[in-house]
Structures are given as C-alpha cells and as structure tokens.
A = this chain, B = another copy of it.
Amino acid sequence: MPRTRVTLKDVAAASGVSPTTASFVLNRVTGQTIPPATQERVRRAAAELGYVPHGSARALREGSSRLVLLNAGQLPVAGSLRSFIDGLDAELTGHGFTLLVRHGPTDPASLRQAVQTADPRAVIDLAELYATPEPDRLDGGWIDGLAAHTATQVDHLAARGHTRIGFAMPADPRLQRIAGLRLDQARAVATAHGLRPPEPFGLDRRGAVTAVAAFDDRVALALLSAMADAGLRAPGDLAVIGFDDTGYGDLWRPALTTVHIDAAGYGRRAARAVLGLPISDVPPAPSTVVVRATT
C-alpha cells in the first residue's frame, strides 16, 4: 500500500472547490462568506477521506508549530509533576495545542537540538527552573507557589506544637538550588511564627529539633528508614512530614504525613501563559496536608 497522505488539495478536489476555500472552511476563517451547503460538502469530504492537516506544513507556513515542549530533564514524573503535566496537557489540548515532554540530558546543546527539530511554539524548561529557580518564568507560578506549599508544611508542624524544626535536604546535587530555595522559605515561615529558623537536618543533629520538614517524600522516607535502623520511631522520637505526595508515603509504616500539591492548576496556568491567555481565570489550588502517622 502506498499509504499516501491525504492533502488539502485532495479534499478540495473531492468537494469541487479550490484549496483556498477548503482551507477557509476547515479553519472557520471569519470574514469569509461561504454558504452552508458548500461548507457541508467540504467537511464531508474531509471526514470521508480522513484528512488531517500536515503539522509540518502548517508549522512552516505559520512560523511555528502547535507543539509546546516541556523539558523535564531527569525529573521523575510522579507526585505534583504528574498533575502539573496533566493540567498542562488538558489546557493545551483544549486550545488545539499538543504537549510533548523531553526527558534526557540537561545540557543546553541537547535541548537546542530538540527545539530545533520539533520547532515548538514555546518551551517550558522545568529542568533549568529547578537548577536556577527564578520567578517570572513560563511555569504558571509554580516556583512562586512553592512558598505557600512550604508554609503548609511548616504550619502543620507548628500547629502540632513543635518549636524546634529541622529541614531535611536531598542528596542529589542537581536539586541543591531548589532545595536551598525551599529551606529559605521554611526559614521565613518559621520566623513569622516566632520560631527559630530551621537548619539542614542530619540524624546526628537529633536532639536539637523535635520535628523535621523534608524536601520531598523521598528524603522523608530515607529519613524514616535511617530512623528505623537507629531504633527510632516517628512521631514519638521525631516527627516527620514529607512534601509532594508521591503515593509511596502511605505504603510505609508508620505511614508518612505529607503535603499534597494539586499542581494541575499550575499546569493550566503555565499553558495559558504560554498561549498568551489571561492567567487569572485559573486559580491554583491550595496545598493540603495529608495527615497520616508520622506527625
């Protein structure tokens, strides 16, 4: 089978109009007067032939494709990144765009190659954002929102009566920048509560604090297992709260208390920002504490 492409020209020929008219009909171009009968004919032909516009041709003509590229680097797709992606995808799809994600090396040359061959309308660079967090990027307020979620985390500990709080940092060097940001946020929140600002926590420094806020669930879980090895148990010996509910926390015993972030709203906002639409229509959902057994 030659498996040949159905083009606009084919649709035009089949419905007895010019490609111009067919294009007008299929794209619902305003300011054109085309009688319903003709429109119907064109649409029918397109459906019957199974016409789908050729993305590359359209992209070439329009100057850029209807793709949006999310650079995720090595980040695992789970927890809030999953919902971020889902929100992004849903909103983009609703506007005729398509989300594609690049997982791979984080060097700039490699990203450039991806951008050059996919020719996307926009690029949301999460990997870069995590490496050097800055506000005002195309992330729908995701990085900015982190402050509120960190507050959710620390507030919970404070409400439980803890006054000396530590912050457990990740080991991965690529996460140091964003972890530093989170630590600063935790400090600001603690200070606002009149508490001593948290220090990076190590099990050896136990005794200095009664509770630990972790960078994420993975770090919290690692802490929990180190505690178990040392014969310590949460929350009696040390309260522990995770961050970014990955779905693994409730498999542990004691089950991990964590902060659930509904990032779908941020994803939608990022999509709207990218498309130049007003962002205020979609308020991001507040984060919530999933109270389990470790606090």
The one of B65, B77, B101, B110 that contacts A56, using a Cβ cutoff of 8 Å = B65
> Which residues of chain B are within 8 angstroms of A218 by Cβ–Cβ distance?
248, 251
The one of B98, B112, B222 that contacts A113, using a Cβ cutoff of 8 Å = B98
Q: Knowing A102-B101, A225-B251 are in contact, say whether A56-B53 is a contact too (CB < 8 A).
A: no
Q: Are the C-beta atoms of A98 and B117 separated by less than 8 Å?
A: yes
Alpha-carbon distance between A112 and B50 when the two chains are bound, in angstroms: 12
Q: Are the C-beta atoms of B99 and A102 separated by less than 8 Å?
A: yes
Q: Are the C-beta atoms of A52 and B118 separated by less than 8 Å?
A: no
Q: Knowing A77-B77, A112-B52, A228-B253 are in contact, say whether A118-B100 is a contact too (CB < 8 A).
A: yes
Q: Are the C-beta atoms of A67 and B117 separated by less than 8 Å?
A: yes
Q: Are the C-beta atoms of A103 and B117 separated by less than 8 Å?
A: no
Question: A236 to nearest B CB, angstroms?
Answer: 16
Q: Are the C-beta atoms of A86 and B100 separated by less than 8 Å?
A: no
Alpha-carbon distance between A92 and B130 when the two chains are bound, in angstroms: 26
A76 part of interface (Cβ distance < 8 Å) = yes
Question: A5 to nearest B CB, angstroms?
Answer: 9
> Which residues of chain B are within 8 angstroms of A222 by Cβ–Cβ distance?
251
Q: Are the C-beta atoms of B98 and A101 separated by less than 8 Å?
A: no
